[in-house]
Structure 1
Amino acid sequence: MLAEAEAMAPLVDKENWDGVLAKTRGAPLTLLKSAALGLGSVSALARTVSLSLAKAAEVSEAAAEAGVALQQLEDYAFSNRVVFFNMVDKNQVQQLSEETNYKAELDEPRELLADVKQQIQALAALLE
């Protein structure tokens, strides 16, 4: 999961929001947005990973927190993507961007991605 999250950094830097969306909605990251890492319940997680119920509950909670962070990044990417209806439309947007020297402010998505990575690291630490 951490490798997938780290692979999003260049996508964020290039403002490739469709690429970010694909990563957040693909395996294995999408498991963070489902109950007990896709297993449905804490008891199923405990059996599958051979953890006590208490530890599995901690892991499930950490996964849910990571899922919230991931969802925030996904929401940002979805809100900021640009849909072009044809090449003329795309060329006009690119020309306007060049003429105005538009430079996107990427602090927010970078912070969201850093939060996702931090949450995944906390989850991994629980599983060690």
Structure 2
Amino acid sequence: MEFSVETLDAWRAEIGEQPSVLAEKLETLVDAGADLALVLARFDALDRAHGSVLIAPGTGTGARSAAHDAGFDLAHRLHLIRIEGPERRGLTALIVRRLADNGVNIQGFWASSVGPRFTAAIVVDTIEDLGGVLHTLSQIRQ
């Protein structure tokens, strides 16, 4: 099965429940020239006052400085792996099972299918887990 795999740096920031907080953080990045490759935002289901946003800055100059100014934690670098390819029934379950079987600790996982296309993002903390994800995906691609 053929799919593309891309690794990106990712940064996290805390966000509150005010409607403008997420918009302001993203606008700060865009105004600085950042081209965001991925944005994942979520709130705690039991406490809407606490949420977080994860970004992968992609391309653009000034993203690092703007991310710092917007409150993103640049000291704790996260690794994001983006996967794109043809949709196949059970693919998400297969990827997650293989990651678990290979002992890879994931911090976050997101997947979506739109028509015939599959897209997923896996977030890990360490370079070792990044290597584990890449190794696991290479096994699935065979």
Range of TM-score over shorter length:
under 0.3
Larger helix share, 1 or 2:
1
Question: Which structure ranks higher in relative contact order (CA pairs < 8 Å, sequence separation ≥ 6)?
Answer: 1
Larger strand share, 1 or 2:
2
Provide TM-score, normalisation by structure 2.
0.26
| Bigger Rg, structure 1 or 2 | 1
